[in-house]
């Protein structure tokens, strides 16, 4: 059981003396980060929104010892022991490969029975819209785990780390805490979250670069190590640093990575203030500054991503655009006037997304 705080809710009821099995249906949204990347694991600030693309898990318990999962995104189902050990060596043997993340979730849930789950998703995979976090949150809730959002989010974070993907808490927390029509200002030094309405007349568009990415196979891990090294040198997380601290870092690479995080946190706060005052032009300029920082100081962009940002930013009605997510491919997010960006020409996909409410679960009678 995660942290001794989460609990599994039995999904059976007695009606008229007959035990009826229920299906637990959980839905968790993906997320787009409007500004503030590589700040969450550095205890800084970020401003994501949960989006109206989501993953759903429909789960029914049974008397078996295995969790069998079917997914619309995979051709082969997965069969995972309900009591599988939370050990990297054990999880690495799970087949098919997509099921290893599911196994890492299941291993933490303290299940004492099996069941069958069906997974459907509209969140694009490898696009930087947190498909893996949406899956982890939906599966955790679908298996009946209950707990505070921070507990659930940390369970999901540990699951990703167990299969070799070092992530922060932003993605699962956003999936859990999303507010319809709002963005979230998140402070990862204390996990405090404030919501602010996305102004009327603002539209969020996401454009795929065609470069799919997985955090485990990009320089993402190297960037985290560089941030850790800078934090160690300063004596505190670089998300809590300020510009005066940069002079204390002699290594130019560590100084550049820290400069991105320090200036990005300042931009996040200014972005929040801009939206609160309905100044979309200022918010858009901050997004462009953020992208330049990601491309230069953090070196996490690509030529394809830079080209899309430049193309979108030059269009009338577009306030700003930037790479979103961990970088090294994936998507660009733009803040614009409604209809300013035509979705059809983008051959790798484009989506208009709306800020969504967070994850939900409900019980229904099993088929």
**Active-site residue list:** 171
Please state whether 133 falls in left (phi above 0), alpha (psi between -120 and 50) or beta.
Answer: alpha
**d(Cα 142, Cα 157) in Å, to the nearest integer?**
17
Alpha helices, DSSP H, located in the chain? 88-91, 99-106, 131-142, 149-162, 170-177, 220-234, 252-276, 280-296, 303-313
Query: Would you say 152 and 165 are in contact if contact means Cβ atoms under 8 Å apart?
Result: no
Measured CA to CA, the distance from residue 1 to residue 17 in angstroms comes to 31
Gap between the Cα atoms of 41 and 224, Å rounded = 8
Contact in structure between 294 and 323 (CB atoms under 8 Å): yes
Q: What is 280-326 written as a DSSP string?
A: HHHHHHHHHHHHHHHHHTS----HHHHHHHHHHHTSTTEEEEEEESS
Q: DSSP character for 129? A: S
Task: Return the structure tokens found at 87.
Answer: 């050990």
Say how many CA atoms lie within 13 Å of 54 toward its Cβ. Answer: 26
Separation of alpha carbons 274 and 204, rounded Å: 16
Q: Three-state SS for 152?
A: helix
140: left (phi over 0), alpha (psi -120 to 50) or beta: alpha
Residue whose entry in the numeric block shows the structure tokens 């230069």:
296
CA-wise closest residue to 123 among 133, 114, 115: 133
């Amino acid at each position: 059981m995660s942290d001794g705080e989460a609990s599994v809710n039995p999904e059976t009821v007695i009606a008229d003396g007959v035990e009826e099995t229920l299906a637990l249906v959980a839905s968790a949204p993906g997320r787009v980060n409007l500004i503030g990347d590589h700040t969450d694991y550095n205890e800084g600030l970020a401003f994501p929104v949960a989006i109206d693309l989501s993953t759903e898990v429909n789960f029914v318990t049974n008397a078996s010892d295995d969790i069998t999962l079917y997914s619309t995104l995979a051709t082969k189902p997965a069969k995972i022991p309900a009591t599988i050990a939370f050990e990297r060596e054990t999880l690495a043997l799970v087949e098919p490969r997509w099921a290893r993340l599911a196994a890492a979730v299941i291993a933490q849930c303290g299940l004492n029975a099996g069941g069958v789950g069906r997974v459907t998703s509209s969140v694009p995979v490898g696009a930087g819209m947190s498909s893996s976090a949406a899956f982890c949150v939906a599966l955790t809730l679908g298996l009946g785990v209950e707990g505070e959002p921070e507990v659930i989010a940390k369970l999901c974070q540990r699951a990703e780390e167990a299969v070799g993907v070092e992530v922060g808490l932003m993605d699962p927390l956003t999936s859990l805490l999303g507010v319809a029509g709002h963005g979230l200002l998140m402070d990862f030094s204390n996990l405090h979250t404030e919501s602010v309405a996305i102004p009327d007349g603002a539209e969020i568009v996401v454009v795929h670069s065609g470069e799919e990415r997985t955090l485990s196979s990009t320089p993402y891990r190297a960037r985290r190590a560089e941030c850790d090294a800078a934090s160690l040198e300063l004596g505190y997380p670089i998300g809590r640093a300020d510009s005066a601290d940069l002079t204390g870092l002699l290594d130019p690479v560590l100084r550049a990575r820290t400069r991105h995080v320090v200036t990005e946190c300042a931009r996040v706060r200014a972005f929040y203030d801009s939206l609160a005052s309905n100044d979309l032009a200022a918010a858009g300029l901050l997004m462009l500054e953020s992208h330049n920082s990601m491309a230069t100081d953090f070196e996490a962009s690509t030529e394809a991503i830079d080209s899309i940002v430049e193309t979108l930013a030059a269009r009338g009605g577009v306030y700003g655009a930037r790479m979103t997510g961990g970088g090294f491919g994936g998507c660009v997010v733009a803040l614009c006037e409604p209809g300013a960006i035509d979705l059809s020409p983008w051959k790798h996909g484009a989506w208009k997304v709306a800020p969504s409410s967070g994850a939900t679960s409900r019980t229904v009678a099993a088929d």
